[in-house]
């Protein structure tokens, strides 16, 4: 694992940040409000996706977001936010994909456009503090899987409160300041997908080049290594039972 305090890590972050900031000055005006192509398939198969998630959740421990990425501890340090990761760039978490075959099949059909895919679980009392995503070259998709019937469960995006609904979706630019809250007595589950933003031809080429740089960054490589460590730990625990 690459140490987040190392000079290599810090220089890599500064380099990526400089490239991203330059690109975003141009790309931000192309933010779309049109739902992506895969939205129809996910909604059509919603009940099956929900069933396979529940089947996994009832028999497995889902790691906290901080266990997968230490960066997430800055915004949620109570281990109440959990993530079942299916895909991170070119890496597919095979164990999780096998447990959620329907979801995996749908996202695999869009593998060149989907950057990441995961189930985000907010246990009761979770507060994901205000934060911004790192790159405007992708858009974030939310599909409500399990949503408590409560006004105390919402996401606040750029000072606009949005409520999830089961089987309903929306997209947003996650470089806008946002926070998520679940003050209900039930868990909230959302399928989150980051996908490449539709852009004019030249900008699209530049965007994919930057995404490729981010893919090779220490931050992403550490996430993949942590996912592998979680899988190894889970397999060893099953072997002793």
Whole-number pLDDT of residue 26: 74
Whole-number pLDDT of residue 30: 79
Whole-number pLDDT of residue 3: 54
Please tell me the CATH code under which domain 7-240 is placed: 2.60.120.330
Whole-number pLDDT of residue 131: 96
Model pTM above 0.95: no
CA gap 168, 35 in Å, rounded: 11
* pLDDT digit string (tens) for the chain, length 241 residues: 545 556 666 666 676 667 777 777 777 777 888 999 999 999 999 999 999 999 999 999 999 999 999 989 999 989 999 999 999 999 999 999 999 999 999 999 987 899 999 999 999 999 999 999 988 999 999 999 999 999 999 999 999 999 999 999 999 999 999 999 999 999 999 999 999 999 999 999 989 998 998 898 888 999 999 999 999 888 776 655 5
Taking alpha carbons only, the member of 90, 98, 110, 137 closest to residue 39 is: 110
Distance of CA 186 to the CA centre of its chain: 21
78, two tokens: 């109570």
The DSSP bridge pattern shows strands 169-172 and 138-146 to be antiparallel
37, two tokens: 């192509």
CA gap 41, 21 in Å, rounded: 34
111, two tokens: 């593998």
Domain regions of the chain by residue span: 7-240
Whole-number pLDDT of residue 239: 58
Burial label, 1 (beta-carbon count in 10 A; 0-12, 13-18, 19+):
exposed
């Amino acid at each position: 694992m690459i140490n987040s305090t190392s000079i290599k890590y810090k220089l890599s972050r500064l380099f990526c940040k400089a490239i991203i900031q330059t690109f975003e000055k141009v790309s931000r005006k192309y933010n779309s409000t049109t739902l992506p192509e895969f939205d129809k398939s996910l909604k059509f198969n919603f009940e099956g996706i929900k069933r396979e998630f529940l089947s996994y959740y009832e028999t497995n421990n889902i790691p906290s977001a901080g266990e997968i990425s230490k960066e997430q501890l800055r915004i949620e340090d109570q281990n109440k936010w959990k993530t079942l990761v299916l895909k991170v760039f070119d890496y597919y978490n095979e164990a999780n994909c096998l447990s959620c075959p329907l979801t995996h099949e749908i996202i695999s059909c869009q593998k060149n456009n989907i950057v990441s895919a995961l189930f985000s679980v907010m246990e009761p009392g979770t507060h994901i503090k205000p934060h911004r995503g790192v790159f405007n070259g992708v858009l974030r998709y939310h599909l409500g899987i399990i949503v408590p019937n409560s006004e105390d469960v919402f996401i606040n995006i750029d000072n606009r409160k949005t409520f999830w609904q089961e089987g309903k979706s929306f997209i947003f630019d996650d470089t806008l300041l946002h926070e998520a809250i679940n003050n209900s007595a039930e868990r909230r589950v959302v399928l989150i997908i980051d996908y490449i933003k539709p852009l004019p031809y030249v900008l699209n080429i530049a965007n994919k080049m930057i995404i490729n740089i981010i893919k090779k960054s220490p931050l992403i490589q550490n996430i993949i290594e942590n996912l592998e460590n979680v899988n190894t730990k889970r397999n060893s625990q099953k072997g002793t039972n």
